[in-house]
Structure 1
């Protein structure tokens, strides 16, 4: 089957138009904006071996926000939104066991972009 140059040009312009529409906003001129607020929550073992569990689990500690921010920056996020002991419904309960003591529960750090 033989295609003409005009057929190839028509396909190329149609593809370029779709790509432009995907990158442009609703008016077709301004670029579409990425989501402005991205959050991700990480669960860390309370006994991670670094000794920062006490900072992250003590409300109002002076080192808690610093440690949480450092963790988020290491993961590629701007800063920590919140941190503390994870609630029982924030981690899996697939194996039925007694609820662990708060010192044994994972630590939750929520990072934001």
Structure 2
């Protein structure tokens, strides 16, 4: 059984089309590897008087419940876990307006979540 050069070309073209359709190549040019998504972080500012009573837990340094509450907040927002939490610094929620520093109980709570 003899095959011509045209027959080999048809077979090679069909294989190349099948590989491209299945995404066999990593990058768009077939040589560069696909890029991994970047690490995602987001910081949430929550009013300290949110009505849930978790302000004391999140603002007390070294409290055992702080990490648990922060992780639960992040999971509810679609993130994996909390990186940091605590009382937000004045420049995190107001930087353009000069105001007297509020008492820590009035400042919002900061929770930084990660993917």
TM-score by length of 1: 0.72
How well do the aligned residues superpose, as a CA RMSD in angstroms? 2.3
Q: Looking at CA atoms only, which structure, 1 or 2, has the larger radius of gyration?
A: 2
Q: Find the aligned partners of 1:26 and 1:67 in 2 and give their Cα distance.
A: 46
Find the counterpart in structure 1 of residue 31 from structure 2: 28
Deviation, 1:96, is 3.9
Distance 1:70 1:25, change over 3 A: farther
**In structure 2, how many angstroms separate the alpha carbons of the residues matched to 1:58 and 1:26?**
53
Unaligned regions of 5+ residues in structure 1, if any? 1-16
> Following TM superposition, where does structure 1 have runs of at least 4 consecutive aligned residues deviating by more than 6 angstroms?
none
Instruction: Count the aligned residue pairs.
Output: 92
Gaps of at least 5 residues in structure 2 are 1-19
Contact between 1:85 and 1:107, CA under 8 Å: does it hold in 2? yes
